[in-house]
Amino acid sequence: MKDSIFTLSDERKLGFIDYGSSDGVPIFLFHGTPGSRIFGLENEPLVDKENLRIITPKRPGYGLSSPVKGRHIECFTADIKELADDLEIREFHVAGVSGGGPYALACASNLSSRVLSTSLIASAAPTEMEGYFKGMSIGNKLAFVMSKYFPWILKAILKSVASHSRKKPERVIDELRSQLCEWDIKVLDNMTKKGQLECLVEHIREAYRQGYAAHYSDLLLVSRPWGIDYSRIESPIFMWHGVSDTLMPIHPARMFADRLPNCKNYFVERAGHLLLESEEIGGRIVRTIKSA
């Protein structure tokens, strides 16, 4: 594992972790909303077993990455291109978890000659999908509604959330549990038994290192039109989504999949949002990426 800060051409800082072997299958993994570069993959047997190289960059304003005023989803594409060039990675796979999905799609569209595949893992869907809130937990529903119509209220709430998260990130996990389906709660319980929950705590704490602004910006961007030209995506898209997901329900995901080119769906029965935290599903996702 190599925890690094890369200086971009405009002097901004981009924090990332480079997991696995330098000659492994390269995958740029984009965190959710909120999120950070910390995924705890240094002790994950699958990384070595499947010979993977997983790079986890943080978006502007999260953790160690410099903030950007007035950014949009496609801005991150240029950052990834610069980082890949510096790491001497010509072709690579991209994967986006939850709120990281739109950023993975932006890279697939704007770097189509370099992206080998795109994996959407419990990804957000555009809010213009009909029936978007069907089956969504009340917390996420309120966040999206405030993002679109009452952003000043959202800002005040996130200021408080960021403060609590830096001091007591465990409380954020407790609040998250109340919004999850039974399958996700079992995944969290299993992580606790294996001593893996501390990594999730650090992931949350790092996400709010600079405060609430990055989370706020991400929510505004995801809740509004993404501006991505899907027709330019040439490589395969793999959509992984839990049928029982309450944070990003299956209904808008199914509708979104129909709009995407070269999209193969993996809708997992009874599963929820924490697909990557499941050893079995995580392995399936990795093997599917390697088959592309």
Domain ranges across the chain: 2-291
- pLDDT confidence bin for 181, thresholds 50/70/90: very high
- What's the N-to-C CA distance of the chain in angstroms? 25
pLDDT at 144: 93
Mean pLDDT value of segment 226-241: 97
List the CATH code of the domain at 2-291: 3.40.50.1820
**Residue 172 scores a pLDDT above 80:** no
pLDDT at 232: 97
pLDDT at 192: 84
In the predicted model, what is the mean pLDDT of the chain?
A: 94
Q: Determine what percent of the chain is predicted with pLDDT higher than 90.
A: 84
**Residue 177 scores a pLDDT above 90:** no
Task: Quote the Cα angle for 189-219-78, to 5°.
Answer: 105
Q: pTM (2 decimals)?
A: 0.96
**Residue 251 scores a pLDDT above 90:** yes
Q: Distance (Å, rounded) from C-alpha 280 to C-alpha 242?
A: 13
DSSP letters, 16-59, are EEEEE-TTSEEEEEE--SS--S---GGG-HHHHHTTEEEEEEPP
Is the N-terminal amide bond of 34 cis, ω within 30° of 0?
Answer: yes
Mean pLDDT value of segment 224-236: 96
Residue 145, exposed/middle/buried by CB under 10 A (0-12, 13-18, 19+)?
middle
Are 188 and 177 contacting, i.e. CB atoms less than 8 angstroms apart?
Answer: yes
pLDDT at 20: 95
**Residue 213 scores a pLDDT above 80:** yes
Q: Distance (Å, rounded) from C-alpha 274 to C-alpha 241?
A: 10
pLDDT at 193: 83
Residue 230 has what DSSP assignment? G
pLDDT at 43: 77
Q: Which of 84-93, 186-195, 243-252, 254-263 has the lowest mean pLDDT?
A: 186-195
